[in-house]
Amino acid sequence: MIDFKKAIAEVLATAVEGLTAEEIYGMIEIPGDAKMGDYAFPCFRLAKTMRKAPQMIAAGVAEAIKDNKMFNKVEQVNAYVNMFMDRGEFTVQTVASVAEEKDDFGRSELGKGKLAIVEFSSPNIAKPFHIGHIRSTVIGNSIYKIYDFLGYETVRINHLGDYGTQFGKMIVAYRRWGKKEDVIAEPIKTLLSYYVKFHEEAEADPSLEEEARATFTRLENGEPEETELWQWFRDESLKEFMRVYNMLGIEFDSYAGESFYSDKMQRVLDELREKGLLKLSEGAQIVDLEEAKLPPALITKSDGSSLYITRDIAAALYRKEHYNFDKNIYVVASQQNLHFQQWFKVVEMMGYDWAKECVHVPFGLVSLEEGTMSTRHGRVVFLEDVLKGAVEKTSQIIREKSIAKGHLSEEEMEETAKMVGIGAVMFNELSNMKIKDYTFKWEKVLNFEGETGPYVQYTHARAATVLRNAEDALKKALEDPKAVDTSYISSDSAYELAKLIYRFPEVIVDAGEKYEPSIITRHVVDIAQGFNKFYHDEHILVDNEEEKKAKVLLTYAAKQTIKNGLALLGIAAPEKM
């Protein structure tokens, strides 16, 4: 696709003294108000070298470039050169690029030859996969898809919480109150009930906590009975987790959790000791981070047991040596900000300059209207139940809308309900800036009218319907996209839609640089709104074949770009709704 900004910079370079096209490129702005042009060039910086008032310089530059065929109009406003693009040329170049690149429209090679690890989801074994886990899961999945689209080789890691003192608690609870047949029937709910009972009983009998710590120590030491129970809990939990991942359409390249690094932690301790970084503090081993203005990093407890930080350092060392990553991205809640600051700093102090390639992507918490969740007290909402609920509610809505109109068969309704219901939950997560806390509300999630997943999916389906009703015109338009009559796609609504489509590739880059999928979500909503305005303002399926070809081609470009945007969010794009 033509980089219009680059082309403008090259034109301006012929009229501006003392600046290269590259320097000019960095100075070009996009006005917030379309009435001020599509692009603007500020001339303040030129006053010193050209020894003229910025307004005079802007007037001279505007005069020098006004006849270029790329522009419909060029005008000087104060110290700015405002440029209005030739609408027809801009639009046809944009839609032709979409027609040529299709599912690859927006893809780039920015990350070519580089590898990015994305660690996300990472639920705790033997605990519920609840609504609170959805943020890491869908944000991380979208970041992975964005980096893959930017040309990186990507590795998706589910760093399962499958180690730690809680497993001592779970084993103690199972031995005291558990039944094998109950765990087999409903693994997570049963194990959760044991975990809750343990904490209830421990309030009256604190010795249970000590028993749990001793049990975990035996697990760490590889005692067969504890290891067998732990492995069973892990296997049964993963089966349940996989049901949810399958519903979400999410896959991983590795399920290496905390336990995978249990035999790799001694190396970390030895290296910290050799480099003089370990200190004793009340029986525990720490790394002093006072110079970095951080609290000390606790490496081992006084009883010698390991902590998250030790395992995270061991994991980072393994990943660098095993994958040789260029980016190591952790999608973990903002509550863990200090933890990541600490262990990133420890890795840096160990002399590894790749510590700067480790990135923590924090996110806020999701709560329910009923209040906060607590695994310890059994107050949770299972994510699988939320997804099933979304599909059921969507099915009801679709049946009300579709049966009356006869749009969908029974099979199509079921499949569409899954795509829209699950897509609605995912879109809702990704439409919020990741750092913000928010409350999950059904009426917002499943709204077909607001800035929601169903609204965007419905818009895609609407565009698909238009194209099904204009197959011949679309086929002819796609034979030579640049040959369509641009006069038919130069209206305000058509041009605004084309500009939104054109910006899609740079939006992906921006989202990748900021680790912020909501940038794509917002832009996909904008394109959907832009198409609906075009659809409302223009009659697309007209008798004039040339006019139909041009408008259908723009419809195709909008539909394809919405589809590509939804794909980066991990969401399906239904052809019918």
Element (H, E) at 443: helix 442-445
Positions of E strands within 423-554: 438-440
Distance, in Å, from the CA atom of 285 to the CA atom of 309, rounded to the nearest integer, reads 12
From CA 180, how far away is CA 29, in angstroms rounded? 66
Structure tokens at 247: 């519903």
Alpha-carbon distances, residue 227 vs 231, 312, 382, 465, 546 (angstroms): 6, 22, 27, 57, 72
Residues with Cβ < 8 Å from 337, sequence gap 6 or more?
A: 360, 362
Q: What is the 3-state secondary structure (H, E, C) of 164-197?
A: CHHHHHHHHHHHHHCCHHHHHHCHHHHHHHHHHH
| List 6, 66, 127, 523, catalytic entry | 127
Distance CA 567, CA 146 (A): 9
Distances (CA, A) of 55 to 51, 63, 72, 75, 365: 12, 12, 21, 11, 50
Active site residue 460: no
Catalytic residue at 130? yes
Distance CA 90, CA 498 (A): 8
The C-alpha angle with vertex 374 and arms to 368 and 379, in degrees rounded to 5, equals 70
**Structure tokens given for 502:** 């054109």
Which amino acid appears at position 47 of this protein? A
Catalytic residue among 73, 133, 320, 401: 133
Active site residue 159: no
Out of 52, 130, 322, 548, pick the active-site residue: 130
Q: Three-class SS of residue 519?
A: helix
Catalytic residues: 127, 130, 133
